[in-house]
Amino acid sequence: MADRIINIGVTGLNAIDSPGPGVPVIRGLKEAKSFKARIIGLAYEPLEPGIYIDGLVDKTYLIPYPSAGTDMLMARLEHIQSVEKLDVIIPNFDAELYSFIKLERALKNIGISMFLPTLEQFEERHKFNLDEFGKKHNLDVPESKPVVSQTELLKVAKEMGFPVMVKGKYYDAYAANTPDQARNYFDKISAKWGLPVILQKFVKGTELNMTGLGDGNGNTIAAVGMRKQFITDKGKAWAGITIHDYRLMEITKHFIASTKWRGGFELEIMKSADNTYYLMEINPRIPAWVYLAVGVGQNIPEALVNLALGNDVQPYQGYDAGKLFIRYAYDMIVSRERFEELSVNGELGNNADNQ
């Protein structure tokens, strides 16, 4: 391992049943061959499990929710930077990306690099822009429409026909079989994620996923395909297996080349019975199952850090199909004092600092 120490701030430490990608991203960074990572956890809540996992983060700071605005976030990050001298931040939540993209230049000015999609890339791939996105980049997408009221919801759902997918603008997706179900999901999602809610034509088929990394010039640095093997009631993969699907790889490379995608991403693709590959969703960040990619030799977090630092990064070539990830839940015993320290002071050293 190289001796160079890189200080990296990582969000998404909520390793829960709908997990944030922070913990697997950090595991990838800890296994990096080109540098030694010192990890600063950036958490929104003092109960995010990744904070307390032994040997994972060197220190954790609470940061304000995106709803507090970019000024508050910047002020907090300036304080953290004055202490920690971060080289890179990897934001891992869809909902925080807008703020971090907005702050990219300001953070660069205080010495923090990131490797994020451009604002244009971030905006155009939104679920409510999927139709336009598909046309622009010549990708098959299911018909989808943003709706802002129940009246509009029922009108569009009737046009599309049931079942129909009801999706939140950041997270959550439900298949509604009846107008009543659609209305319920609309209320549930809009209360949690706001408007618009997206209605999407239901596509029956096999869901395939791809995680990857684009260098911002149209080149594919990493790309690993996965099929979910075990799914939670929230539709999250609890186990998955790497696959080699030629068309899936072709679509991914086309997506990166056409958008000149900059940063990590996850593509959710539905392969229909007639072998059409519908692009269902583009998540503009590393997914929670990224450790599978690390496990088959494509260390996306490491490559992303090197791209952020302006280092030369060679594309990964190939990976083994048939490698599984199987997730598990694990109870940690945490002293009240540690929880209290983070809750009251907004920062917490690792276990070793407290012993």
Partner 1 sequence: MSLIKIQTNIAISDSGFLFNPATGESFSVNPIGLEIIRLMREGKNETEICAAVNETYDADPAIVERDLHDFIHMLRQHQLLDNNGGQNN
List of residues contacting partner 1 (CB under 8 A): 206, 226-227, 229, 240-246, 321-322
| 3-state secondary structure (DSSP) of residue 59 | strand
Closer to partner 1 at the Cβ: 206 or 217? 206
Closer to partner 1 at the Cβ: 175 or 321? 321
Closer to partner 1 at the Cβ: 58 or 268? 268
Q: How far is the CB of 335 from partner 1 (least distance, A)?
A: 42
Q: How far is the CB of 251 from partner 1 (least distance, A)?
A: 14
CA–CA distance, 53 with 30 (Å, rounded to integer): 13
Q: How does DSSP assign 103-128, residue by residue? A: THHHHHHTT-B-----HHHHHHTSGG
Decide: residue 207, CB within 10 A, 0-12 exposed, 13-18 middle, 19+ buried. Answer: middle
Which stretch of DSSP H or E encloses residue 130? helix 130-137
Closer to partner 1 at the Cβ: 207 or 341? 207
Beta bridge partners of 60: 41, 348
Amino acid at 120: E
Q: How far is the CB of 324 from partner 1 (least distance, A)?
A: 9
- Sign for the CA dihedral angle at 236, 173, 64, 11 comes to positive
Q: How far is the CB of 266 from partner 1 (least distance, A)?
A: 16
Closer to partner 1 at the Cβ: 81 or 242? 242
Q: How far is the CB of 289 from partner 1 (least distance, A)?
A: 13
| 3-state secondary structure (DSSP) of residue 80 | helix
